[in-house]
Amino acid sequence: MSGTPIQAVAIGASAGAVQALLAILPALPASFSLPVLVVVHVPPDRSNMLVPLFQSKCRIKVKEAEDKEPVENGVAYFAPSDYHMLVETDGCVALSTDEPVNYSRPSIDVLFESAADYYGSALAGVILTGANHDGAAGLKAVADVGGVAIVENPDGAYASAMPTAALEATPSARIMSHDQIVFFLSSLGTAR
């Protein structure tokens, strides 16, 4: 753990994602000053209901990520369905149609590993509910570069497999409830 100020937040969620994200993203204040990169596993073809839903509920700006667009503070970027979302080496978000990873596209690991590479210890990674193991390697990559690793408490999660796998890979990760995650993120993103 280092004292670097956090510059970006990455969030991964699968089964039960919508409820979990509804407890978190709309609670962030309008003054929230970090970019939030969100990967949710959604079946291909039945996607982008999420973006309008969260646009209508959130105080921060919400959009679907576009290929090679610069990342802006205070904006939540959702990966489009059937595309991976990465942070490029110049800090833009990029999309790709590479093979699914962990049977998933978008994959949480792909986002987290590329974001860890770019932001290093200035990244906070959050793994929420899910019924698979995607995100475990990604969160470990975040912890390995000195970023902040956060996992939703598996006991309270809609599906515990994903947070459990993330904790096995990164035992030092902080375990938090939705409310604690909101509090923690708000404190990162407004006290600057």
Partner 1 sequence: MSEIEDLEIQLLLEALFQRYHYDFRHYARASIKRRLIQARLHLGFATISAMQDRVLHDASMLPRLLDFLTVQVSEMFRDPTYFKALREKVLPHLRTYPSLKIWIAGSSTGEEVYSLAILFKEEGLYDRTIFYATDINPEALAAAEAGVYTIDRIRKFTENHQKSGGKSSLSDYYTAAYGRAAFDKSLRDRVVFSDHSLVTDAVFAEMHLISCRNVMIYFDRPLQDRAIGLFRDSLTRKGFLGLGSKESLRFSSHAGAFTDFVPGEKIYQRREP
Active site residues per annotation: 14, 41, 134
Interaction of residue 148 with partner 1, rule CB under 8 A:
no
Interaction of residue 98 with partner 1, rule CB under 8 A:
yes
Distance CA 183, CA 162 (A): 22
Query: Which range in 14-22, 107-115, 156-164, 173-181 contacts partner 1 by CB under 8 A?
Result: 107-115
Interaction of residue 67 with partner 1, rule CB under 8 A:
yes
Residue 70 CA, chain-centre distance (Å), reads: 17
# residues contacting partner 1 (CB under 8 A): 23
Q: What are the structure tokens assigned to 55, written together? A: 């646009």
Select the residue interacting with partner 1 from 71, 94, 123, 181 (CB under 8 A).
94
Query: Which range in 17-25, 114-122, 158-166, 184-192 contacts partner 1 by CB under 8 A?
Result: 114-122
Secondary structure string (H, E, C) spanning 67-88:
CCEECCCCEEEECCCCCEEEEC
What is the rounded (10 degree) CA torsion for 125, 96, 14, 116? -10
Are 133 and 165 within 8 A, CB to CB? yes
Give the interface with partner 1 as residue ranges (CB under 8 A). 66-68, 80, 83-84, 86-90, 94-99, 110, 113-114, 117-118, 145
